[in-house]
Amino acid sequence: MSTELWYTERYEEHGASLSLKIREVLHREQSPYQTIEIFETEHFGTLMTLDGLVMVTDRDNYLYHEMMSHPALFTHPAPKRVLIIGGGDCGTLREVLRHPEVEEATQVELDERVTRVAERFFPELCEKNHDPRAHFHFTDGIAWIKEAPAGRYDVIIVDSTDPVGPAAGLFATDFYAACHHALAEQGVLVAQSESPLLHADLIRQCQSRMAEAGFEAVNSVYFPQFCYPSGWWSGTLGRKGLSMDAFRAEDAKAFTGTHYYHAGMQQAAQVAPAFLLG
């Protein structure tokens, strides 16, 4: 009898699944909001799941974290004040704080236990948590943005889970409108928007809702992500006042240390597949 241990996430609606070979179960707890589990995998390093769904692995997290931060930050002409809604593993925060022009990065995460567990098992993602520019608030991101003063932030990053349960409201038009209100002129919003292959309608919906909320320019970035459904993911951006094509190309070219993002990728990632153009 085989004693191999595998973690499997099934995508019942699409008749598919992801399986990762597990060496050891490192941690399991029930927070006030969800079940948090940590595994040591055979080939993808440490794995975090929330309620049985993959959130982050050592091997491929840089794809998501880089593409959810750098395109938005380089689209803004001078990003000083950044808000991250969600992002409890702190990988997006780390990438944001690699930009020296950022003066403050506020992270609003509902479940503090996700961050505390990440600090223990993903220390490389949390290396900027004690940066004096980092500010943590463990509360409801939807309520936070609705109470934010007008023009408070330059960039808002919605690093959320799937659009179910408490996260469903992060995909609504009124939420995007609240983000638009909280952004200063030329402000940029980016929100994770699921798989182009499996959730094309959701991406179109995110784009149309951002436009309805007042964003003059809207587009998505597309990137590979092995551990998420279909292995292909997206983030959708909305911008106040300027087009998506206007980004700080020279600054992006000089930016080093990334594994996936670079200045050329800023433009290439915004090219949509034909089936999303109609």
- The token pair at 62 is 């840089």
Q: Which residue has the tokens 């609705």?
A: 146
pLDDT digits 0-9 by tens, 174-200: 999 999 999 999 999 999 999 999 999
Residues 209/176, Cβ–Cβ less than 8 Å: yes
Residue 144, burial from CB neighbour count under 10 angstroms (0-12, 13-18, 19+): middle
Q: How far apart are CA 223 and CA 60, in angstroms?
A: 11
CA atoms lying within 13 Å on the CB side of residue 102: 30
- Measured N-to-C along each axis, helices 173-182 and 200-212 cross at an angle, to the nearest 10 degrees, of 50
Give the residue among 82, 91, 87 at the shortest CA–CA distance from 62: 91
pLDDT at 168: 83
- The token pair at 178 is 């609240």
Q: Which residues contact 271 (CB under 8 A, 6 or more apart)?
A: 222
CATH number of the 4-55 domain:
2.30.140.10
pLDDT at 2: 58
Could you tell me what percent of the chain has a pLDDT over 70?
Answer: 99
Mean pLDDT rounded to a whole number for the chain: 95
CA atoms lying within 13 Å on the CB side of residue 202: 18
Q: How far apart are CA 84 and CA 141, in angstroms?
A: 9
pLDDT digits 0-9 by tens, 11-55: 999 999 999 999 999 999 999 999 999 999 999 999 999 999 999
pLDDT at 257: 94
160 has binding-site annotation: yes
Beta strand 153-159 with 134-137: parallel, antiparallel or unpaired? Answer: unpaired
Residues with a catalytic annotation lie at 159
Q: How far apart are CA 78 and CA 80, in angstroms?
A: 6
159 has binding-site annotation: yes
Q: Where are the domains of the chain?
A: 4-55, 59-274
pLDDT at 241: 85
Give the residue among 59, 51, 64 at the shortest CA–CA distance from 20: 59
167 pLDDT band (50/70/90 cuts)? confident
1 pLDDT band (50/70/90 cuts)? very low
Tell me the β-bridge partners of 224: 232
Residues 111/88, Cβ–Cβ less than 8 Å: yes
195 has binding-site annotation: no
140 has binding-site annotation: yes
232 pLDDT band (50/70/90 cuts)? very high
Give the residue among 65, 60, 54, 46 at the shortest CA–CA distance from 192: 65
Superfamily classification of domain 59-274: Vaccinia Virus protein VP39 (3.40.50.150)
161 has binding-site annotation: yes
89 has binding-site annotation: yes
pLDDT at 245: 80
pLDDT digits 0-9 by tens, 115-130: 999 999 999 999 999 9
Q: How far apart are CA 85 and CA 160, in angstroms?
A: 7
